[in-house]
């Protein structure tokens, strides 16, 4: 039987309450949302928080809405909410692409987007989506809120810029009219973590790439992104050759590790191939061609 080490359980009634509880209990306290990453780590004693602060009552952080020229996603939005959101489907198909291959429908009822970012698993899918889209994360602490670009949010595996008395409250994504986006992942079996995965968005100016974002996960890409590949493609004609060249640049910038999911050279190959697939589909979607 896997049992977490003993801890004290607290339940937050509001964001302010959560921050106050974090401040009172210090760095050995952890927030728990869906719990589907943290509780397994606690069972394996890889995480042993002294205090667990349950934030599942913070339903006011469960929303996906248009806010000016941005889409605002509350941190307590469940994976199932993201998968079913008509607003996200309208603007960014990358979300449904990714959510369809995150865990399974039952786990998606619990896991949250905020938890996914804060868990900061190096194979996490939404971190690559956020990096691709240039999302901005809103973090609240005692002294108010601050905004952190997704590409500066992670400081290492399982580590983020969120301080011990701070809580991620919102993920903001700029709306880009006419953008196409996509996510492509290879996993060992249904619902597993990625062997490798890539996401992209792309806007076109005629036949040229006006803007592009590329995110990668599970392959050791710094901050889950591929800026050199984006630079190589931006302003260029959206031809298959150019997409393939950019995908190659993205693959070369990765530093995957050999592990039980596969050897490093295979993962690097996947990084290139999946980036190419995500770019191709983004172009097709930007042109309004098929799903």
Residues that bind another protein (CB under 8 A): 1-9, 11, 32, 35-36, 39-40, 42-43, 52, 54, 56, 103-107, 109-110, 190-191
Smallest distance, Å, CB 1 to another protein?
7
Smallest distance, Å, CB 7 to another protein?
6
For another protein, the closer of residues 45 and 146 by Cβ is 45
Smallest distance, Å, CB 79 to another protein?
12
Residue carrying structure tokens 């999302």: 135
- Helices and strands in the chain: count of H runs, count of E runs: 11, 13
- Name all contacts of 264-267 with Cβ < 8 Å and 24+ positions apart: 266/195, 267/195, 267/196, 267/218, 267/219
Reported in sequence order, the residue ranges of the chain that DSSP labels E, i.e. its strands, are 8-11, 29-32, 51-54, 64-67, 70-74, 136-141, 144-149, 154-156, 159-160, 167-174, 180-187, 194-205, 208-217
Smallest distance, Å, CB 27 to another protein?
19
For another protein, the closer of residues 56 and 242 by Cβ is 56
DSSP label at residue 262: B
For another protein, the closer of residues 4 and 122 by Cβ is 4
Q: Give the whole-angstrom CA distance, residue 214 versus residue 58.
A: 32
- Enclosing H/E stretch for 112: none
Smallest distance, Å, CB 33 to another protein?
10
Sheet holding 194-205, edge to edge: 180-187, 194-205, 208-217
Smallest distance, Å, CB 95 to another protein?
17
For another protein, the closer of residues 79 and 151 by Cβ is 79
DSSP label at residue 120: T
């Amino acid at each position: 039987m896997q049992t977490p080490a003993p801890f004290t359980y607290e339940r937050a009634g509001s964001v302010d309450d959560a921050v106050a509880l974090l401040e009172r209990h210090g760095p050995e306290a952890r927030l728990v949302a869906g719990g589907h990453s943290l509780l397994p780590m606690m069972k394996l004693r890889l995480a042993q928080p002294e205090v667990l602060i349950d934030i599942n009552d913070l339903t006011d952080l469960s929303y996906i809405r248009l806010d000016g020229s941005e889409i605002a996603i509350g941190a307590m939005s469940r994976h199932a909410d993201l998968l079913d959101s008509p607003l996200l489907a309208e603007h960014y198909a990358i979300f449904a692409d990714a959510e369809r291959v995150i865990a399974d429908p039952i786990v998606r009822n619990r896991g949250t987007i905020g938890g996914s970012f804060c868990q900061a698993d190096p194979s996490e899918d939404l971190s690559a989506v956020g990096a691709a889209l240039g999302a901005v994360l809103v973090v609240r602490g005692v002294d108010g809120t601050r905004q952190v670009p997704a590409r500066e949010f992670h400081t290492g595996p399982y580590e983020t810029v969120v301080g011990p008395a701070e809580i991620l409250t919102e993920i903001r994504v700029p709306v880009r009219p006419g953008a196409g986006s996509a996510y492509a992942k290879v996993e060992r079996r249904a619902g597993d973590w990625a062997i490798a995965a890539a996401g992209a968005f792309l806007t076109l100016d005629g036949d040229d790439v006006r803007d592009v974002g590329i995110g990668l996960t599970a392959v050791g890409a710094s901050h889950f992104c591929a800026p050199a590949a984006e630079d190589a493609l931006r302003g260029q004609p959206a031809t298959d050759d150019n997409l393939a060249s950019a995908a190659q640049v993205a693959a070369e910038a990765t530093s995957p590790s050999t592990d039980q999911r596969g050897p490093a050279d295979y993962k690097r190959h996947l990084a290139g191939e999946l980036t190419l697939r995500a770019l191709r589909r983004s172009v097709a979607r930007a042109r309004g061609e098929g799903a």
